Amino acid sequence: MTSDADHVDHNIDIAPGDEREQGGSVGSRVLGYVTGLGLAILLTGTSFFVAGTNLVWEPSIPVALIVLAIAQMGVHLVFFLHITTGPDNTNNVLALAFGILIVILVMGGSLWIMDNLNQNMMPDHIMQMQR
């Protein structure tokens, strides 16, 4: 026999994407996706506005775009990929961290190789004399 004191409502603090595990309805899951879509559209529109207007201080535009891009990635990770801090999402977070590490290594290695090739190229005046 359970009393009202034993019944705790766990639906108060549910991360987006965890509605299914908490017994949430289809409507709450759809609302999570619609909220994510709205935030993604808002962040995309804000990025285009910042890049195309003269109202923003010009040197701050790249920083603003980077911040908006990071926010956009956060929205996609939480609302669409359901990456949360729950104990059952440890493998997802580790897979995401490994993926980010691989992308950083590939980008860094590519930039290093291109810079090395650029430094080792023959100067233009030597290439013109060989013709």
pLDDT score recorded for residue 103: 94
State whether 55 and 77 are in the same domain.
Answer: yes
96 with 54, same domain: the answer is: no
Closest of 77, 42, 49 to residue 64, by C-alpha? 49
Q: Is residue 71 part of a domain?
A: yes
Q: Is 70 exceeded by the pLDDT of residue 24?
A: no
- Give the range of the structural domain holding residue 51, as residue numbers without chain letter: 9-84
Q: Are residues 77 and 29 in the same domain?
A: yes
Domain boundary, last residue among 46, 68, 84: 84
92 in the same domain as 71 = no
**If you average pLDDT over residues 61-86, what whole number do you get?**
90
63 and 14, same domain (yes or no) = yes
Q: What is the per-residue pLDDT for 125?
A: 66
The predicted pLDDT at position 94 comes to: 87
Nearest to 76 by CA among 101, 39, 49: 39
User: For position 87, what pLDDT does the model report?
Assistant: 76
Task: State whether 16 and 80 are in the same domain.
Answer: yes
Please indicate, yes or no, whether residues 14 and 69 belong to a single structural domain of this protein.
yes
> Which pLDDT belongs to residue 85?
74
pTM here?
0.64
Both tokens of residue 113? 């190789």
Which tens digit of pLDDT belongs to each residue from 60-70?
Answer: 999 999 999 99
Report how many domains make up the chain: 2
Q: Are 72 and 125 within one domain?
A: no
